[in-house]
Amino acid sequence: MGIDLGILRELFRNLQTFEALHETTGIDILTAPDGQEWSLWDLRYLYECRERLSPRQRQAIELCLYANVKETDAAVTMGLKPTTPVAIYANNGLRRLIEMAEDGLLPHFRLDYLQAG
């Protein structure tokens, strides 16, 4: 089955909340709606791996997902027209991260996420 794009998108959207939860409670594992357990450390690693993406994909992930900036505001911050659908860049970046993980190009990523299902 591998990594679900929609779940990864929501995990990135809530990564700051997950980090705060860890700081206050020590919890570092979450169970996604599909039953897959996700480690805070693996999510942080994937988030850091965005540096391997195109500048637009990286910016869109940072702004639209991690920082929860509205898409129109993110577009302006990225130097684009407010009507530019920059969330597409974020989705494409997430797809690329998933592909890299599935191809074994992210050596510190746990393979059990790819084998679940």
The whole-chain average pLDDT of the chain stands at: 92
| DSSP per-residue codes, 63-80 | IIIIS---HHHHHHHTTS
How many other C-beta atoms can be found within 10 angstroms of the C-beta atom of residue 56? 18
Locate the domains of the chain by residue range.
5-115
pLDDT at 2 over 90: no
For range 102-117, the mean pLDDT: 74
pLDDT at 113 over 70: no
The pLDDT tens digits of the residues spanning 57-108 come to: 999 999 999 999 999 999 999 999 999 999 999 999 999 999 999 898 998 8
What pLDDT, on the 0 to 100 scale, is given for residue 72? 97
Separation of alpha carbons 49 and 58, rounded Å: 9
Separation of alpha carbons 12 and 58, rounded Å: 12
- The structure's pTM equals 0.90
Could you tell me the CA-to-CA distances from 68 to 10, 15, 46, 63, 111 in Å, in that order?
11, 10, 18, 6, 28
DSSP state of 97: H
pLDDT at 116 over 60: no
Compare 81 and 2 and report the one with higher pLDDT: 81
Closest Cα to residue 49, out of 4, 2, 85, 100? 100
